[in-house]
Chain A
Amino acid sequence: MNIGAAIKDVIDYQIKVLGGRTVGDVIFFFVILFVAVIIAKIVRINIRRTLKEKVPKTTLNAVEKIFYYGIITVGFLAALPYIGVEPTGLMVAGGIAGIVIGFASQTVVSNLISGIFLLIEKPIKIGDGVSLGDVSGVVKDIRILSTTIRTWDGIYVRIPNEKVFTSNIQNFVAHAARRFEYKIGIAYKDDADKAIEIIKNLLEEHPLILKEPAPQIFVEELGESSVNLAIRIWAPSSHWFSVKTEMLWKIKVSLEKEGIEIPFPQRVIWMADKKKG
């Protein structure tokens, strides 16, 4: 027997467990799978090269994965008849399995869909300072199933995308500028106009306190122990917190330097016998 005939015998050998499919069919099945994987890899590399500079990393990862696994799945389905499995039969089985898996993976799918919507709607971006429900911090990554946050005190928090999508999202830096407010009480004996002028001059000196919208300083309330001034300041969203922490003390120091008192809560008590006297 020559070698060619021996190889042909092996290739034509029928495998009973595969419903009489030959070894050649099985080899062809793996060849189709192999080709599908190669094509998927080529497509993935090309997608990465084309879109790398144009779309965010998270979107790129999602697109890459959809194409990669999509091509492999198509290849797998195309190769199945060679091992005696008809895709139509598989679809019935897959339908039943799909229902079972669907129930089991409801949360995963929900997170996946939410992740896709987050990537499309973009209420938050990597690097944004945000508050998601009861978690506040900087967005470090937005993945297809979850979003990771570094809280202000440096803790890693992973939030499933479904929760991100359905929670109230506060993005602290989505707008170019934001406003913050102080309330400062001055003594009744002091001149509120003078205090307003002092504060106005101080705010004018600070580069990060926006010229427009201009700061607002006004008497908001005649309180029990003090005349209460409201100070509303606009600053770039990227720097508002540093400005807020810096200015309150400076305002206090400036007012006191000009002889304007910031009083403690106080109550005037008239003694009954003293009044008679």
Chain B
Amino acid sequence: MFGKYDLNVELKEEGIEISITGKGKKKSYYRKAGEEEVEKIIYAEEGNVVICPVEPVNLPNEGTSQHLLIELEKPIIIEPRIEDVFYVKFPVEVGVFLIDKKDVERIDIFTITKPKYILYGPPESGIICKWWGSDAFSEAPEVKRLYEGVMKVEAKNNYSEWVEIRKMVFRALDMKLFYNEHAFMHSYLEILKKTMGETSFNERKPKNMKRAIDIYLAKGIKRLEKKFVMEWGFK
């Protein structure tokens, strides 16, 4: 389903239907995901529609959270001064965009995942995060591509003691999403102390993958810091 299409398209996959139909300038957009249906009217002569994964923090309430917390079902314990690579799954939110030579306009975002929020840190100074539970895999796992994506995590323990990782928090503003058959992100987790670490993302496009449209860049939001500091630990 991910990809670039003309303004006349009908797609069906994993219970999701997307169609843009109509002749001339006036076209009808229809989307069904689960029980949710959306219909919109589009006036356009040229341009394309792009369907791609977006930062998975927009639904069900945009603005509630700008962070994704991935909770590992089995915690990972990392030895001091060790680097390791593992993979986790993250929830997929699908964005539908209209594009032409000058502009990108988001017309829809949907998901078939069941969203849940969590508080990371104490209530007085913590942050609300979108929650997702995942196992840690030593190789890229199989995923239902419209339901979950794959995140490669390069973890590095720079601290002098063993550290147990159960939670990892990623800032949506830092995320760099790519896709081919499924959504993909490549992140870094640097452990600085027993209860402090930094997460960031690799911006380089992997081979045979396409770069997803960055919602924040499309909105003109710039990043000053490219790392998120996990100051309330990993448990």
Contact = CB atoms under 8 A, between A and B. Distances in A.
A212 B118 contact: yes
Contact of B61 (A174, A212, A234, A239): A239
Interface stretch (A34-42, A92-100, A175-183): A175-183
Given A210-B117, A213-B123, A177 B60 contact: no
B118 A210 contact: yes
A178 B128 CA distance: 11
Nearest to A238: B64
Interface in B168-185: none
Interface string A186-213: 0000000000000000000101101111
Interface in B104-145: 114-119, 121, 123-128, 131
B116 A177 contact: no
A258 to B, nearest CB: 22
A236 interface: yes
Contacts of B123: 175-179, 213, 234
B114 A207 contact: yes
Contacts of A234: 119, 123
A174 to B, nearest CB: 8
A152 B60 CA distance: 25
Nearest to A178: B123
A175 B61 CA distance: 18
B124 A207 contact: no
A236 B119 CA distance: 8
Question: Which of A174, A178, A179, A212 gathers the greatest number of chain B CB atoms within 10 Å?
Answer: A212
B116 A207 contact: yes
Chain A interface residue count: which class? 10 to 19
A238 B65 CA distance: 10
Nearest to B131: A211
Contacts of A174: 124
B92 to A, nearest CB: 16
Contact of B117 (A179, A205, A207): A207
Chain B interface residue count: which class? 10 to 19
Contact of A239 (B64, B119, B125): B64
Contact of A236 (B115, B117, B121, B125): B117
Contacts of A212: 118-119
Contact of A177 (B114, B115, B126): B126
Interface string A25-54: 000000000000000000000000000000
B64 to A, nearest CB: 5
A146 B115 CA distance: 42
A210 B114 CA distance: 13
Given A236-B64, A239-B61, A239-B64, A213 B116 contact: no
Contacts of B126: 176-177
Contacts of B114: 205, 207
A175 B119 CA distance: 11
Nearest to A179: B123
Contacts of A236: 64-65, 117, 128
Nearest to B71: A211
Interface in A228-247: 234, 236, 238-239
B102 to A, nearest CB: 26
Interface in A138-189: 174-179
A208 B119 contact: no
27 contacts: A175-B123, A176-B121, A176-B125, A176-B126, A176-B128, A177-B126, A177-B128, A178-B123, A205-B114, A207-B60, A207-B114, A207-B115, A207-B117, A208-B60, A208-B61, A210-B117, A210-B118, A210-B128, A211-B117, A211-B118, A212-B119, A213-B119, A234-B119, A236-B65, A236-B117, A238-B63, A238-B64
Interface of A: 174-179, 205, 207-208, 210-213, 234, 236, 238-239
Given A175-B123, A176-B126, 12 more contacts: A175-B124, A176-B125, A177-B128, A205-B114, A207-B116, A208-B60, A208-B61, A210-B119, A234-B119, A234-B123, A236-B65, A238-B63
